[in-house]
Amino acid sequence: MFKIISGKKQIDLNNITIKHDKDVSPDLIQDLYLSVGWQYRDIQDIRGSLDNSVLVTTAWDEEKLIGIARATGDGIFSVTIWDVAVKPIYQKQGVGKLILKSMLTKLDDCGIPLITLYVEWAKKDFYSKLGFETNINKVVGMYRYKNEPFRDKRNRRNE
């Protein structure tokens, strides 16, 4: 039973089921990703990302997939959390926090000493409340997209 309030589904978190299982339909995940405004991803690529994940944590409202997070890495020294998403109608009600707390507990139980993630700057406060920090004196997150050219400073000509 639920009420719709201002475009959000008012939920009881006790009725949300959290699962740690890679066996999730890529079509359901695609639907979730599209609902939060992410670009279309090939279904086989989604399946591959699940298969290559150390841990996949999902949230369910009965039979509906409403949230996901996945972790990749070596599963011993470090993992990185990716693709944290919650269907818009369920956002701002603790579902994302429920997913991440469950995932972090599972990863902590495995003894993994370092857990990292990349987030949009505007969402960093949410993750800070879960124990994540930014500190440029310790770690700097960097990235390189596939089609960006490799820049080797050793081979640069004097400009």
Task: Output the CA torsion 67→27→116→91 (10° steps).
Answer: -20
Based on the residue annotation, tell me whether 127 is a catalytic residue of this protein: yes
Q: What does the DSSP assignment read for 55-75?
A: EEEEEEETTEEEEEEEEEE-S
Per-residue pLDDT reduced to its tens digit, 19-71: 999 999 999 999 999 999 999 999 999 999 999 999 999 999 999 999 999 99
Per-residue pLDDT reduced to its tens digit, 149-158: 776 666 555 5
Per annotation, catalytic residue among 90, 118, 127, 145 = 127
Residue 108's CATH number: 3.40.630.30
CB 34 within 8 A of CB 40: yes
Determine the residue type at 95: V
Q: Is position 155 within any domain? A: no
The pTM (predicted TM-score) of the whole model is: 0.84
**Strand pairing report for 114-117 and 78-86:** parallel
Q: Is position 36 within any domain? A: yes
Q: Is position 152 within any domain? A: no
Domain count, the chain: 1
Domain that holds residue 134: 13-138
Q: Is position 8 within any domain? A: no
CB 98 within 8 A of CB 20: no
